[in-house]
Chain A
Amino acid sequence: MALPAPQAATVTLIGGQYSVDTARPLANAGGGLPAFAVTDRRAGRSDLMAVQVERRSPPRAQALQALAEPVEGILSPLAYGPAPDAAGNGAYYIVAPAPPGPALDARPRAWSESELLEHVLRPAARALERLASRGVTHRAIRPNNVFQAAPGQPVVLGMAWAAPPALHQPAISEPPYVAMCVPAGRGNGTISDDVYALGVLLLTLALGRSALAGLDDEAVVRRKLDQGCFAALVGNGRLPPVIADLARGMLADDPEHRPLPALLTEPSAARARRVASRPSRRASRPLQFAGRQAWNARSFAHALALAPDAGLQALRSGVVDAWLRRDLGDVGLALRVEEMMRPRPGDIPRDSTSGDAFQAMTVVAAIDPLAPLCWRSVALWPSGIGPALAAGGNSPGLDQLTEIVTAEAIGSWASLHADRCDAPTLRSEARQHRVWFATRGPSGGVERLLYALNPLLPCASPLLGRSWVARLPDLLPALERAATTVDQATNRPIDRHIAAFVAARSERRMEAEIAALGRSGEDAADAELRLLATLQMRLHPAPLPALAKWTTTRFDELLVGWRSRARRERVTVRLKELAEAGQLPAIVLLLQDATERSADRQEANAAAIELARLDGELAALVNNAPERAALARRWGQELAAGIGLLGVVAALLAAALG
C-alpha cells in the first residue's frame, strides 16, 4: 500500500524507535480501527503503521506477548505503547507492518478456485498454523482485514491485536455461538473459529459477494442455526466443487468437526476429510414465544438465551416439554430439560432474578452444548468477560455482567461444559473474580475486575482526563499533570478507579497500602500518602511537587497523630518544604519518625496526667467550700478564746506587778 508523504515527525517514540505521524492516516489499513503512518527512527523503515486503540476496547495483552517474534503472513505487532493522538490527548498504538496492498473487499469479484487455494487458503492456513503453535488465535479474518500486495501474491492477515478478539467481526464471519455474544465478550476462542472465518472468507471470495447481505446480526445467527452454517451462507449460490467441500468442513457447526489449519495447507487432504455430523432435527411445527420461532433445539436455545423470561414461562407451563416430545420428537432432550428445571436445593442462587437467570443458563447449556454462557439476554464466552466489562461502561448489560461475576456463573457454566473447556481453571477464575468484585473499599468492585481482567485497559479515572495510563509507571506523571488542573480542595488524588488500577497492576507487596485505602478520615489520607510514596519510590523517583502538594493539602489529617502544638508546627513547616521538593517518601519518613513520635506520645501522656491533676485540684477547690467555712469558724472561735486568754494573762500580770 502506498503511504502518504512524510511530514513533521512526532516526538514520542513507541518502543524507543517508532514515531507515529498522526497527520498521515492510512485508510482501511487498521481493520476498522484508525491507522497512521509510522517511521522507524532506528532502522529507517517507513512501511509501518500504528493502529490506534479505542479507550474502552483494550488490546490483546496475551497475544501481544506471544507475538513478540513476528509471524509470517500476518501483520504482527512490532511494538506497542502510549503516544499522543492528533489532538494531543493520550492514545495507545500497536505498531505493525503496514498492509502490503489493499484489502480483499476493495475490488469485489469472484475468485477462481486456484486463486483461492494458492493465494488465500494455503497462506492463511499456514499463518494460522503458526499462530496456533504459539497458542494465539487471530479472530479478525474478514474481507476488509486480509490484504494482498498484488494479484497472484499470497494474502496477509491483518491486524487483530488492537481490540478484544472478534470485536469488529461481522456476524456472518463468526460461528453463530460467537456471533450471538456481545461484541466485546466473544473471547479468545479457538483456532477452529479462525478456520470458520477463513471458510466464510473463501466462500465470500468464491461467490464474489457477501453472503446473507442485508440481514441484521440476529437474523444471520437465526438463519445459521435453523439451516446450518454452510447451507445458510451458500444458499442458492454456486461454488467450485473443491471450495464447496472445503467450506462445508470449515463451516461445520461443531468446532471439533472443522479441519485444523495444518490440514488446510493441503486442500486435497482437507477435502478428503469428511466428518459425519448429524443434521439438526427439525420440528413438524415451530415453537413460538416472545415473537420468536424455533424450528429445532438449537434455535430454541438461542431464543431462550435472548428472551429468558418468556422462555422460562413456556418451560414452566409445559409448552416446551410438549413441543420437544411431540413436534420435535426428542424425548431424551425433553427429559434432560425436565431434569434441569428441577434443580437441587443450593444449586441455584437465592435471589429470584439470579435464580431464573441461572436456570435459563443451565437449560440453554443442556439443549445446546455449543452455546456460550447466556445470562439474562447477554451471551458471552468466559474469556470475554473482561473486555465485555470494559466495553460495558454504563450500559444496561453491565448489570448482567456483574451478576455473572457475583453468581460465579462462569464456574457453573464450565461445570456443564466440562468436556469442552478447562472447568477447574474456569471455576477457580470465577471464584477469584467474585473475590475481587466483593473486595471492600476502593480497591474492589467492578473497577478492580476491569483492570485485573484487562491488563492493557487505561485507567478511567476522571482525574486523569485524557491521559492514557495503562501501566503503573505512567500513573504518577499523569497525576502530577492532573494536580495542576483539578480542584484540590474537592478531589483526592486516589479515587476508586485509581485505587482499583493500582491494586490490579501492582505486586502483592503493596496489598497493605491498598487495603488501607478503605479506611476513613485521617487513616485514609495517611494510606493515600503511603501508597503514592511507595509508587514514587519504586517506579518514578523524579520529583512530584504538584502531586505532593495535592496529597498534603489536608495536612491536618496527616498530622492527627502528632499531639504537641509546637512539634506539629515544626513538622508542618518541614512537610511543606518536602512537598515543594516533590518527595513523597521523605514526607512519609518525616511523619513516621519513631523517635519524635515516641517523645510526642510520652509528653502527651505526661500532659494528660498533669491536666487530670489540675482538674482534680480545681474540683477540690470548688467542692471544699463547706469544709473551708467550718475551718474558718472553728479557727475564729479559737482565736477569740485565745485573745480572751491573753487578756486574762495580761490582767493577772498587771495585778501581780502592782
Chain B
Amino acid sequence: MSQGVRERGSSLIWVQGLVCGALVAVATPLALMLAVLLAPAAAAALFDHQPGRPSVRAVLLCGISACVGPLRRLWLGEHTIAASLGILGGPGVIALAWSAAAGGWILAELAPLGLSLVLEAASRAQAVRLRARRERLLEEWPGLKGE
C-alpha cells in the first residue's frame, strides 16, 4: 500500500474515531444503542479482510435496517441511557438486529456461490451448443478434421 493511501486510511480512522467520540459525548444513549445493535458488524469487521470488506458491508446494512425502529423510538422518547437500555431490553430488539446482521452475512457468503453456479451452467450450455455446431461442420467437411 502506498504512503498516500496509508495516510488517507489513518486520517479516515481518525475522523471516524472523532465522530464516534463526539457521538458518545453528545448522544450517549444513541451511541449505546448503536454499539449494542451493530456489534455483529464490528465483529465482522475484525474477520473480513477482503478488499472493500463485502461481508462487513452486507452485515452493516442489514443491521442498520434493523436499527431504524429502535432508534426512532429512542429519538421520539426520552433521550436517556435508561430509555436506551429499556428499548434494548425490549422483546426481540437485539435478536432482530443481530439476526438481520446474520442474514446479511449469509447473503454475502451465498450470493457469490449462487451466481457462480448460474454462470457455470450458462457456459456449459454454450459449450454444448458450440460442440454440436462443430460436429455438424465436420460431418459436412470431413477434410477439416486433420487441419
* Given A639-B111, A655-B68; A645-B61 close (CB under 8 Å): yes
Interface string of B61-91 (1 = CB under 8 A from A): 1101111110010000000000000000000
**Taking CB as reference atom, which chain B residue is nearest A637?**
B54
Let me know if A641 and B120 touch, CB within 8 A: no
Least Cβ distance of B44 to chain A in Å? 12
Q: When the two chains form their complex, are residues A654 and B108 in contact, meaning their CB atoms are under 8 A apart? A: no
In chain A, positions 607-657 with a C-beta closer than 8 Å to chain B are 607-608, 610-611, 614-615, 617-618, 621-622, 624-625, 628-629, 631-641, 643-645, 647-648, 650-652, 654-655
Pick the contact of A651: B66, B120, B127, B140 (CB < 8 A): B66
A647 nearest in chain B by CB position: B65
Q: Does A28 sit within 8 A of B, measured CB to CB?
A: no
B64 surroundings in chain A (CB, below 8 A): 644, 647-648, 651
Decide if B123 touches A640 in the complex (CB within 8 Å).
Answer: no
Chain B 90-147 residues near chain A, CB threshold 8 A: 100, 104, 107-108, 110-116, 118-120, 123, 126-127, 130-131, 133-134, 137-144, 147
With A640-B108, A644-B107, A655-B68 known to touch, is A611 a contact of B138 (CB < 8 Å)?
Answer: yes
Instruction: Pick from A608, A621, A640: contact of B107, CB below 8 A.
Output: A640
Q: Are B111 and A636 in contact, with the CB atoms below 8 A?
A: yes
Nearest chain A residue, comparing its CB with the CB of B107: A640
Interchain CB contact under 8 A, B130 and A617: yes
B112 touches A632 (CB 8 A): yes
Question: Quick one: closest B residue to A645, CB to CB?
Answer: B61
Q: Is B33 close to A, CB under 8 A?
A: no
Q: A564 at the A/B interface (Cβ < 8 Å)?
A: yes
Nearest B residue (CB) for A639:
B111
Query: In the complex, are the beta carbons of B127 and A647 less than 8 A apart?
Result: no
How big is the A interface, by class?
A: 35 or more
User: Which chain A residue lies CB-closest to B126?
Assistant: A621
Beyond A621-B130, A640-B58, A644-B58, whether A633 also contacts B112 by CB under 8 A is yes
A565-B130 in contact (CB<8A): no
The one of A566, A610, A631, A644 in contact with B137, judged by C-beta atoms closer than 8 angstroms, is A610
Beta-carbon contact of A618 and B115 below 8 Å: no
B137 touches A647 (CB 8 A): no
The complex places the Cα of A449 from the Cα of B142 at a distance, in Å, of 44
Q: Roughly how many angstroms separate A644 CA and B54 CA in the complex, as a whole number? A: 11
Residues in A with CB closer than 8 Å to B108 are 636-637, 640-641
Taking the complex as formed, is A41 at the interface, i.e. its CB lies under 8 A from any CB of chain B? no
B4 at the interface (CB under 8 A from A): no
CB distance from A398 to the nearest CB of B (A): 45
A604 within 8 A of B: yes
Q: Is A636 within 8 A of B104, CB to CB? A: no
- Measured between beta carbons, the chain A residues less than 8 angstroms from B58 are 637, 640-641, 643-644
Cα(A205)–Cα(B94), bound, Å: 152
Interface size class of B (residues with CB under 8 A): 35 or more
Q: How far is the CB of B51 from chain A (nearest CB, A)?
A: 10
Among residues of A, the one whose C-beta sits closest to the C-beta of B108 is: A640
A563 within 8 A of B: yes
In the complex, what distance in Å separates the CA atom of A648 from the CA atom of B104? Answer: 12
Q: Which residue from B116, B134, B139, B141 sits with its C-beta under 8 Å from A614?
A: B134
Residues of B within 8 A of A632 (CB): 112-113, 115-116, 118-119
Question: Do A633 and B116 touch (CB < 8 A)?
Answer: yes
Say whether B37 faces chain A, with CB atoms less than 8 Å apart: no
Q: Are B130 and A614 in contact (CB under 8 A)?
A: yes
Contact A651 B115 (CB under 8 A): no
Cross-chain contact B137 with A614 (CB below 8 angstroms): yes
* A651: B residues at CB distance < 8 A: 64-69
Known: A632-B112, A632-B119, A644-B104. A565 touches B54 (CB 8 A): no
CB–CB A643/B107 < 8 A:
yes
Flag if B120 contacts A628 (CB, 8 Å): yes
Also in contact, A611 and B134, with CB within 8 A (given A604-B141, A648-B65): yes
* Per-residue A-contact encoding for B42-70, CB less than 8 Å = 1, 0 else: 00000000001010011111101111110
CB distance from B34 to the nearest CB of A (A): 14
Would you call A629 and B116 a contact (CB within 8 A)? yes
Query: Which chain B residues border A615 with CB–CB below 8 Å?
Result: 134
Residues of A within 8 A of B111 (CB): 635-637, 639-640, 643
Known A565-B142, A614-B137; contact A636-B61, beta-carbon cutoff 8 A? no
Q: How far is the CA of A628 from the CA of B113 in the complex (A)?
A: 11
A614, B68: Cα distance in complex, Å = 54
A644 lies within 8 A of B65 (CB): yes
Within the complex, the shortest CB–CB distance from A610 to chain B, in Å, comes to: 6
Q: Is the CB of B140 within 8 A of A644?
A: no
Known: A637-B108, A640-B111. A563 touches B141 (CB 8 A): yes
List 12 A-B pairs, Cβ < 8 Å. Answer: A564-B140, A566-B140, A614-B130, A636-B111, A639-B107, A640-B54, A640-B111, A641-B58, A648-B64, A648-B65, A651-B65, A651-B69
Interface residues of B (CB under 8 A from A): 52, 54, 57-62, 64-69, 72, 100, 104, 107-108, 110-116, 118-120, 123, 126-127, 130-131, 133-134, 137-144, 147
Residues of A within 8 A of B (CB): 563-566, 604, 607-608, 610-611, 614-615, 617-618, 621-622, 624-625, 628-629, 631-641, 643-645, 647-648, 650-652, 654-655
* Beyond A615-B134, A622-B127, 8 additional pairs, beta carbon < 8 A: A563-B141, A604-B144, A633-B115, A636-B116, A643-B62, A647-B62, A647-B65, A651-B69
List 4 tightest A-B contacts by C-beta distance, closest first.
Answer: A644-B61, A636-B112, A647-B65, A637-B54
